[in-house]
């Protein structure tokens, strides 16, 4: 790529940015050649922007399913831990039925699967598989509403609702209820965060809003410089 070509692309990209920022972009008639050039420039800019920010450009929409997200929280549905608690409370009073997943009756893992399904997040059916989802929370001291607490043996799962309380489907003869958490850290196999806590989601949103004005310009500049450097090297 020659230096003249790079400079020409930079000019085109800057024009596109100015048009988008001013809100005056129009679908003016253009030749197929200019459309192709514009697409190529946009692709080059996106690639350079990804290199400059250190983040690969996304190729697909964020996944809402956690069965493909072991080791990460599921953000695609937009749900937070508070949403998990709110939805789970809809099932208070539902009788325990082994293998159940409906308001006619549900067991502990059926309750968890149903709650996350309501929120657009796909969860496995049984506790040992649910124990592999999301990210691990180090201890009860770091647990947030919506986290799953799974005791050693992985024979049960409860939803932490905050203030030292959990929501669960206990056993035959009982119904879905909120009780004081009786587990100690030494009793627990893992604590899993499936979706972001409300606190983390709010912090991420605030940081994104605060950095939108300056970081976007910095990344654009870095991307343009990356194109210029690659063109100079090829000249």
d(CA 213, CA 208): 9
Report whether 119 contacts 79 (CB < 8 A).
Answer: yes
Q: How far apart are CA 11 and CA 18, in angstroms?
A: 11
Catalytic residue among 1, 8, 128, 156: 156
DSSP string, 44-76: HHHHHHHHHHT-PPP-SPPP--GGG-TTS---T
Three-state DSSP state, 104: coil
Query: Which helix (H) or strand (E) is 167 found in, with range?
Result: strand 165-168
The catalytic position among 109, 134, 148, 168 is 168
Annotation marks residue 168 as catalytic: yes
Instruction: Count other C-beta atoms under 10 Å from residue 64's C-beta.
Output: 19
Backbone angles phi, psi at 160, to 5 degrees: -75, 130
- 10, 44, 108, 224: the active-site residue: 108
Q: What's 96's DSSP letter?
A: B
Active site members: 108, 156, 168
């Amino acid at each position: 790529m020659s230096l003249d070509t790079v400079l020409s692309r930079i000019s085109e990209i800057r024009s596109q940015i100015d048009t988008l920022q001013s809100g005056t972009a129009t679908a003016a008639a253009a030749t197929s050649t200019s459309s192709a050039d514009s697409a190529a420039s946009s692709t080059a800019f996106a690639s350079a922007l990804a290199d400059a920010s250190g983040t690969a450009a996304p190729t697909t929409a964020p996944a809402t399913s956690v069965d493909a997200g072991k080791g990460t929280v599921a953000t695609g549905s937009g749900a937070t831990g508070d949403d998990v608690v709110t939805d789970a409370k809809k099932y208070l009073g539902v009788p325990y039925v082994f293998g159940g997943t409906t308001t006619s009756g549900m067991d502990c893992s059926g309750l968890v699967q149903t709650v996350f399904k309501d929120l657009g997040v796909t969860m496995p059916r049984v506790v040992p598989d649910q124990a592999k989802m999301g990210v691990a929370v180090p201890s009860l001291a770091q647990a947030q509403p919506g986290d799953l607490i799974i005791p050693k043996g992985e024979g049960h799962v409860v939803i932490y609702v905050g203030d030292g309380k959990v929501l669960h489907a206990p056993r035959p003869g009982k119904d879905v209820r909120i009780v004081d958490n009786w587990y100690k850290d030494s009793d627990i196999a893992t604590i899993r965060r499936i979706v972001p806590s409300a606190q983390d989601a709010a912090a991420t949103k605030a940081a994104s809003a605060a950095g939108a004005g300056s970081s976007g310009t910095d990344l654009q500049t870095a991307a343009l410089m990356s194109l210029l450097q690659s063109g100079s090297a090829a000249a």
